[in-house]
Amino acid sequence: MLTPFDDYPVHQTASPIAHVGNGHPNHYDRFWFNGYNEQVYFALAMGVYPNRGIIDAAFSVVHDDVQRSVFASGRVPLDRTRTSIGPITVDIVEPLRVNRIRIDAPEHGLVADLTATARTAAYEEPRQTRYAEADPIMDVTRATQMVRWAGELRAGDDSFTLGAAGEPGARDARGARGARGEESLGTVGTKDRSWGVRGLGGQIPMAPRRQQHQVFFLWAPLNFADECLHYMVFEDETGRVQTQAAALLPVIGADDPVFGPDTGIRRLSDVRHQVSWAPGLRRSDGATLLLGPDDSPGDRVTLEPVHTFRMKGVGYSHPVWGHGQWHDELAVGGELHKVADLDTLAPDCLHLQQVMRASWAGRTGLGVLEQLVIGPYSPGGFRAVLDGAPARTKG
């Protein structure tokens, strides 16, 4: 089946672009964006599942300890340049440099017109491949990029003008100082493009897996004024590293490259993490990244939580609006939660991102620490599928 993209020289096989992933039903292609400052966090996810014939998207905001979301799902358009569904639109204004997101869901208390501009070049994470016995549950490529945001956002009764002259760091993201004495970054965040195969709703019928389900995943893109730090890791239940990557990403100017061999990205080795787990839960109440083998003070990045966002707000593990599930030709819905009510061990509340105030070698920045811990993980004291972290001993 031919589509407009077949007029571009982008083919990877002898098949038309519409035929992807050797027909695997769990093939996906996704946009992910987040943005944050000290007052507000927002995220958008949009996924295309061509072998299921589905496109879905969600947008969610955390502000004043309330998480508000809108979801949309429908039939995937044949024209892959149509990156919109219902009230949610993603525009590729300039590839790898400028994106625009538009949300028009006033009935769910969410309206936005926001532009993300690259702060760094795109970083290709190592390919992430995991199997459960013979079943490929993940085979993914991800490109991660730090961004700054400008535009208008309304959540409930509150409105925000991001990137305006009055916002900290709007005119000098490299060196302005805020009232706390740290670098004022304005509203920053991450663009994440990933594609490949990963678990979706409506799984393929198969024999029950004999292996216990276990995931330990951290993902930490951190924005500082002059350069950014990115860290990700998968570990098994003993803490043995399965996949890991860390890199320093220089903050770029308007004419600097966003891809290719001359981006200045520097990969790091010997990076480790220390997570302080909140007793009774599977989320942190702070963490440290160690960038060198000798644990010197200049190699310690300390992370202090500011906001907590449950990824169910953009469809991850959502019991109704999970990714890649058929609802109708077009279906739109919304929900609202108090953040404190989501502080549970419910399966749809385990996957989360925390906005973190990051301190590193005299610098202060903002970033996120994404966390997903399912099943046993002995370094954190988790023994069962969904038990909470043990209470801390006094002394």
What are the chain's domains? 25-202+210-380 (2.40.370.10)
In the chain, % of residues over pLDDT 70: 90
pLDDT at 169 over 60: no
pLDDT, tens digit (0-9, with 9 covering 90-100), for 52-110: 999 999 999 999 999 999 999 999 998 888 999 999 999 999 999 999 999 999 999 99
Question: In this model, does residue 35 exceed pLDDT 90?
Answer: yes
C-beta separation of 80 from 5 below 8 A: yes
| Confidence band, pLDDT 50/70/90 cuts, at residue 255 | very high
Bridge-based pairing state of the strands 123-124 and 135-155? antiparallel
Average pLDDT, the chain: 90
> What confidence tens digit (pLDDT) does each residue in 232-243 have?
999 999 999 999
Q: Which tokens sit at 301?
A: 């990045």
Which carries the bigger pLDDT value, residue 292 or residue 334?
334
* pLDDT over 70 (residue 203): no
Predicted structure pTM score: 0.92
pLDDT reported for residue 201 = 67
Task: Please state, in angstroms and rounded to a whole number, the distance separating the CA atoms of residues 233 and 246.
Answer: 9
Pairing of strands 300-310, 330-338: unpaired
Token pair listed for 49: 């599942």
- Tens of pLDDT, residues 352-385: 999 999 999 999 999 999 999 999 999 999 999 9
Given a cut of 50, whether residue 351 has pLDDT beyond it is yes
- Cβ atoms of 268 and 248 within 8 Å: the answer is yes
β-partners of residue 89 are 84, 102
Inter-CA distances, 162 with 174, 218, 353, Å:
17, 28, 21
C-alpha closest to that of 316 among 107, 41, 44: 44
| Angle at 155 (CA atoms; ends 194, 187), nearest 5 degrees | 55
Mean pLDDT of 131-138: 70
- 3-state DSSP helix/strand/coil % of the chain, to nearest 5: 5, 50, 45
Tell me how far the alpha carbon of residue 22 is from its chain's centroid. 26
Which is nearest to 104 in space by CA: 149, 150, 72, 66? 72
pLDDT of residue 181: 35
Q: Phi first, then psi: give them for residue 222, nearest 5 degrees.
A: -125, 130
User: Is residue 174 pLDDT above 60, yes or no?
Assistant: no
**% of the chain exceeding 90 in pLDDT:** 73
Question: For position 93, what pLDDT does the model report?
Answer: 97
